[in-house]
Structure 1
Amino acid sequence: MIQQGRLNVVLELVGERGNVSIAEVSQALGVSTATVRRDLNALAEQGLVTRTHGGASALGSAYELPLQYKIARQAEAKVAIARAVADLIEPGESVGLNGGTTTSEVARMLGRSERLRVGPDKVGVTIVTNALNIAYEMSVRDHIKIVVTGGFPRRQSYELVGPLVGAALRGFSLNTAVLGVDGLSAAFGATTIHEGEADASSEIAAVAQRVIVAADSTKLGRSTFARIRPLNEIDILVTDAEVSPGFAADLAAAGVELVVAAPAEAGEADGPGPTSSDAD
């Protein structure tokens, strides 16, 4: 396993357990303790973990993997979800996208879609986003018109946050908002880890006629720190697997349409982001 893959696994272990020992990582990865020490030191130098005697720990209780380390997680599910979301978008629509690996894949599906290439100037979809990586990657697509909100960038996610996001969006009326989330539950609706990202995503949803949540099955039935939207203000959930009967009943009671994406075709996976380091 190359170092990038090892770092992904280490960060997931830290996120799940809060702290790990060198011996635990060595056993999980099947590598020497010397290699583990180098990997933990590399993550600590990047400010992603706290190095401890004999291991490493998460930086805080609301631990968040940086976007570039999320690329490979649930990759096939995200491709399938993105394809299903793209099928819900019609030519000429304006679509709001927040940041994250799933919405980045949605943007790529929209960018590759021949169905959405309409009109003499081939402007098939307008994407309004607070995600710098999506804006950069889609700027080369001749049938995609990109509008970027204002705001201050977060290093963890490439998303613009702050009051300038809402100030820019209030002048728009979007057909559809597609939101990536960190959690979706009956009690708290759509949630994310960072309150600034929650505010920005809420602003995108507020100016949309239809709100789609794109979330793989690992996000369902859980809630995280900051609420984006209550469940009854979501129109469609697109996910990759059938949900439990109880959660299906909660969705129906809230008026949320459930779309279960077909499995991704062989060989498809999340493509790389706009830089060699890039990842809901």
Structure 2
Amino acid sequence: MHQQQRLNLVLELISERGNVAIADVSERLGVSTATARRDLNTLAEQRLVTRTHGGASALGSGYELPLQYKIARQADAKLAIARAVEAMIEPGATVGMNGGTTVTEAARALGRSERLASVGGEPSITIVTNALNIAFESSVRENIKIVVTGGVPRRQSYELIGPLVAASLRDFSLDIAVLGVDGLTAEFGATTLHEGEADASRHIAAVARRVVVAADQTKIGRSTFARICALDDIDVLVTDAPLAPRLTAQFEKANVQVVVAPPVRAVSAH
């Protein structure tokens, strides 16, 4: 295992638990205690964790991994959700997108889509986003016209936040908003970890005729710090597994259509 892979796994572990001991890292990664200690020291030097006696802890409550350090948790689920989102987008559509790994995969699916291929060198869809990584990746796709909101970027997510997001969206009208979330419940609706990102996502949703939340099953039934919108404001949830009966009833009551994405089928090599 390469060092960067180890660092990613250690960060995920600290994000989940809040703190870890050197022995925990050694056992989880199958490395020596000396290697585990060096990895924790490296992360502390990068100011991603706080070094403690015998281990390390997250920088604070509500700790959020920077996007570039996130490993592909639920990777197959995200790919399946991305394909289902792509199937919802019609040629000529204007699509609002916030940031995050699931929505990034959806943007990649749109860029690769043969159904949404460029005609005569002209873009077939427009993506309006506050996510710099999505804008950068999609800018090379001739079938996509990219519009980036104003705002100040967060290092953790590459998302633009602040009053310039709302100001740049004020005169837009979007066909569909595709939103990634950190949590989704009937009681609190769609939520995320950072209030600035919640505000930006809320403004994207406000100028869209249809709001789609793209979230794998690990996000369903949990709520995080900042609300994006109430459940009633969501039109469609695209996820990777059927909801529990109680949640299904709650989402039906809120008139939220639940789309369960077909699983990604691995292609075997011959």
For 2:41, what is the secondary structure of its paired residue? helix
Q: Deviations over 1:20-57 (max 9, x none)?
A: 10011111111001101111111111211101111000
Q: How does 1:81-120 map to 2 (within 5 A)?
A: 81-117=81-117, 119-120=119-120
Equivalent position of 1:276 in the other structure = none
Task: State the alpha-carbon separation in 2 of the partners of residues 71 and 261 from structure 1.
Answer: 21
Equivalent position of 2:182 in the other structure = 182
- 4+ residue segments displaced more than 6 Å: none
Equivalent position of 2:211 in the other structure = 211
TM-score normalised to structure 2 length: 0.97
- Higher RCO (Cα < 8 Å, 6 or more apart): 1
- Do the aligned residues in 1 keep the contact of 2:9 with 2:71 (CA within 8 Å)? no
Q: Deviations over 1:123-156 (max 9, x none)?
A: 1110000000000000011110000000000000
Task: State the alpha-carbon separation in 1 of the partners of residues 98 and 215 from structure 2.
Answer: 13
2:64 is matched by which residue type in structure 1? E
1:244 is matched by which residue type in structure 2? A
Task: State the alpha-carbon separation in 1 of the partners of residues 44 and 71 from structure 2.
Answer: 20
Equivalent position of 2:62 in the other structure = 62
Q: How does 1:221-240 map to 2 (within 5 A)?
A: 221-240=221-240
The total of aligned residue pairs comes to 268
Q: CA deviation at 1:267?
A: 5.6
Equivalent position of 2:171 in the other structure = 171
User: Which blocks of at least 5 consecutive residues in structure 2 are unaligned?
Assistant: none
User: Which blocks of at least 5 consecutive residues in structure 1 are unaligned?
Assistant: 269-280
Q: CA deviation at 1:65?
A: 1.1
For 1:263, what is the secondary structure of its paired residue? coil
Equivalent position of 1:132 in the other structure = 132
Task: State the alpha-carbon separation in 2 of the partners of residues 70 and 215 from structure 1.
Answer: 16
Q: CA deviation at 1:2?
A: 1.5
Task: State the alpha-carbon separation in 2 of the partners of residues 242 and 16 from structure 1.
Answer: 24
Q: Summarize the Cα distance change of 1:267–1:153 in structure 2 as closer, same or farther, 3 Å threshold.
A: farther
For 2:205, what is the secondary structure of its paired residue? helix
| Superposed CA RMSD | 1.2
1:75 is aligned to 2:39 = no
